């Protein structure tokens, strides 16, 4: 009993000491110095000896706290490709200390705002104090050049201010902006470098025309990203025998409840009605994954993205009856496909 008393007194004194010391400016300065030094120039470890991916945005335009709009960062042996860059996703990449020097290109699945709106912030990451010696390559469907031109116009003054302020070493004006690459589906292999092949394919998301999905093949491992699509036979064809399929999903049974609960808001109800036919339900996505014989299915671009466990359980209602190997993406969900292996590791970025 006595010992317990001494321990309590020591803990109380310790607590008081810490709360006094952390109010002393000199102590605060040393603590901040230590913290910044420990961050240093460290970068996230995405496992160079693999094909891997991190979900940098897991939601669609419907808000869900803690989630950014659509984004998947693919790592093929130390070369990074950013597939879509919706609102909040560039901040995720920054917070996770992703090494922007390794970003080789951005690939847009289509030109909806929830897939492109952080392009300016991604540009800043790859431009300021960067090893890149050219503007950022941006692949996307026909029309991508309009998007990159628009961002360049909007940020023209920003580029100039930063260049004038920091000089060519830090903000080289010649490398500011974007290199757009509109994809011609008669040449579907859009990237073929360092052992990586990226193949673009068409998915149905009308009135968006065209909308694309991408398949990544790297040294015997493979991943497919659906982009936004309703149930698509073409996606099944291009996903054949892939290790991992990232498929968008929309829980229409939850939208029905939203419509009922929000009946007074006619504008919102109209939007919820319109979107029923241009996304894929979780059950349809699971069926597509089965038909394509993919090993693991990761649901992303969730509409509406679950805000808690109850909503998540509802969202995926019935999926377990159709297939076993699946995961629900959150921001930070990471999948690693080690080379020379059949392993599929699902984890979270540190
Ligand atoms: Zn979308
Ligand atoms: Zn869309």
Q: How far is CA 113 from CA 61, 105, 117, 252, 324, in A?
A: 8, 19, 5, 22, 33
Identify the band that residue 188 occupies on the pLDDT scale cut at 50, 70 and 90: very high
- Does the pTM surpass 0.85? The reply is yes
What is the predicted pLDDT for the residue at 54? Answer: 98
Instruction: Kindly give the distance from the C-alpha atom of residue 45 to the centroid of ligand 2, in angstroms, as a whole number.
Output: 30
What is the predicted pLDDT for the residue at 167? Answer: 96
CA distance 13 to 155: 55
Identify the band that residue 14 occupies on the pLDDT scale cut at 50, 70 and 90: very high
Identify the band that residue 86 occupies on the pLDDT scale cut at 50, 70 and 90: very high
CA distance 63 to 84: 17
**In 10 A of CB 238, how many CB atoms?**
22
Q: Is 281 helix (H, G, I), strand (E, B) or coil?
A: coil
Instruction: Kindly give the distance from the C-alpha atom of residue 140 to the centroid of ligand 1, in angstroms, as a whole number.
Output: 14
Identify the band that residue 163 occupies on the pLDDT scale cut at 50, 70 and 90: very high
CA distance 75 to 86: 19
Identify the band that residue 38 occupies on the pLDDT scale cut at 50, 70 and 90: confident
According to DSSP, the β-strands at 326-328 and 296-303 are: parallel
CA distance 249 to 297: 11
Q: What is the dihedral of CA 200, 224, 123, 59, to 10 degrees?
A: 120
Reported as a single tens digit per residue, the pLDDT across 254-295 is 999 999 999 899 998 998 888 888 999 999 999 999 999 999
CA distance 126 to 147: 18
Instruction: Kindly give the distance from the C-alpha atom of residue 279 to the centroid of ligand 1, in angstroms, as a whole number.
Output: 9
Phi then psi for residue 173, to 5 deg, are -60, -30
Instruction: Kindly give the distance from the C-alpha atom of residue 209 to the centroid of ligand 2, in angstroms, as a whole number.
Output: 10
Tell which CATH architecture fits domain 50-348.
4-Layer Sandwich (3.60)
223 neighbors 216 (Cβ within 8 angstroms): yes
What is the predicted pLDDT for the residue at 36? Answer: 87
In the predicted structure, residue 79 carries a pLDDT above the cut 90: yes
* pLDDT above 90 coverage of the chain, percent: 90
In the predicted structure, residue 58 carries a pLDDT above the cut 80: yes
What is the predicted pLDDT for the residue at 40? Answer: 72
What is the predicted pLDDT for the residue at 170? Answer: 96
What is the predicted pLDDT for the residue at 37? Answer: 85
What is the predicted pLDDT for the residue at 44? Answer: 86
In the predicted structure, residue 1 carries a pLDDT above the cut 90: no
Instruction: Kindly give the distance from the C-alpha atom of residue 120 to the centroid of ligand 2, in angstroms, as a whole number.
Output: 19
Instruction: Kindly give the distance from the C-alpha atom of residue 324 to the centroid of ligand 2, in angstroms, as a whole number.
Output: 27
Instruction: Kindly give the distance from the C-alpha atom of residue 135 to the centroid of ligand 2, in angstroms, as a whole number.
Output: 26
The beta-strand segments (E) located in the chain are: 50-57, 71-76, 79-83, 103-107, 136-140, 178-182, 189-193, 196-205, 208-218, 221-225, 244-250, 296-303, 326-328, 333-338, 345-348
Instruction: Kindly give the distance from the C-alpha atom of residue 66 to the centroid of ligand 2, in angstroms, as a whole number.
Output: 21
Q: How far is CA 128 from CA 28, 73, 142, 159, in A?
A: 30, 20, 28, 10
Looking at all shown ligands, the one closest to residue 114's CA atom is 1
Instruction: Kindly give the distance from the C-alpha atom of residue 163 to the centroid of ligand 2, in angstroms, as a whole number.
Output: 35
In the predicted structure, residue 41 carries a pLDDT above the cut 80: no
Average of per-residue pLDDT across 11-17: 93
CA distance 55 to 233: 24
Reported as a single tens digit per residue, the pLDDT across 217-227 is 999 999 999 99
Reported as a single tens digit per residue, the pLDDT across 105-115 is 999 999 999 99
In the predicted structure, residue 47 carries a pLDDT above the cut 90: no
Q: If you average pLDDT over every residue of the chain, what do you get?
A: 95
In the predicted structure, residue 17 carries a pLDDT above the cut 80: yes
Reported as a single tens digit per residue, the pLDDT across 293-302 is 999 999 999 9
Residue with tokens 């903000």: 171
Bond from prior residue into 101 cis (ω within 30 degrees of 0):
no
Tell how far CA 26 is from the center of its chain: 40
In the predicted structure, residue 96 carries a pLDDT above the cut 80: yes
Instruction: Kindly give the distance from the C-alpha atom of residue 293 to the centroid of ligand 1, in angstroms, as a whole number.
Output: 25
Residues near 199 by Cβ (< 8 Å), separated by ≥ 6? 188, 189, 190, 214, 215, 217, 238
């Amino acid at each position: 009993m006595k010992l317990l008393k001494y321990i309590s007194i020591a803990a109380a004194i310790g607590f008081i000491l810490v709360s006094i010391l952390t109010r002393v400016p000199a102590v605060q300065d040393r603590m901040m110095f230590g913290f910044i030094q420990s961050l240093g120039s460290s970068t996230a470890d995405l496992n160079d000896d693999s094909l891997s991916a991190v979900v940098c945005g897991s939601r669609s335009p419907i808000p869900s706290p803690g989630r950014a709009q659509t984004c998947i960062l693919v790592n093929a042996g130390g070369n990074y490709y950013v597939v879509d860059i919706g609102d909040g996703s560039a901040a995720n990449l920054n917070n996770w200390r992703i090494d922007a020097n390794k970003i080789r290109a951005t690939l847009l699945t289509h030109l909806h705002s929830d897939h492109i709106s952080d392009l300016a912030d991604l540009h800043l990451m790859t431009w300021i104090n960067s090893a890149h010696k050219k503007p950022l390559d941006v692949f996307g469907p026909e029309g991508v050049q309009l998007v990159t031109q628009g961002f360049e116009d909007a940020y023209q003054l920003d580029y100039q201010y930063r260049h004038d302020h920091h000089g060519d070493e830090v903000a080289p004006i010649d490398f500011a902006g974007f290199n757009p690459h509109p994809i011609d589906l008669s040449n579907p292999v859009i990237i073929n470098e360092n052992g990586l092949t990226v193949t673009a394919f068409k998915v149905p998301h009308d009135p968006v025309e065209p909308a694309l999905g991408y398949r990544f093949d790297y040294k015997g491992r493979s991943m497919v990203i659906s982009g936004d699509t309703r149930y698509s036979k073409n996606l099944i064809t291009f996903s054949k025998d892939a290790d991992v399929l990232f498929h968008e999903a929309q829980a229409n049974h939850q939208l029905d409840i939203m419509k009922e609960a929000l009946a007074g808001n006619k504008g919102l109800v109209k939007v919820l009605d319109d979107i029923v036919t241009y996304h894929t339900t979780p059950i349809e996505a699971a069926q597509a994954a089965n038909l394509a014989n993919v090993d693991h299915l990761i649901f992303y671009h969730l509409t509406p993205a679950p805000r808690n466990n109850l909503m998540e359980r509802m969202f995926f209602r019935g999926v377990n009856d159709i297939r076993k190997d699946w995961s629900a993406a959150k921001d930070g969900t990471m999948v690693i496909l080690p080379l020379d292996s059949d392993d599929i590791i699902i984890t979270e970025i540190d």
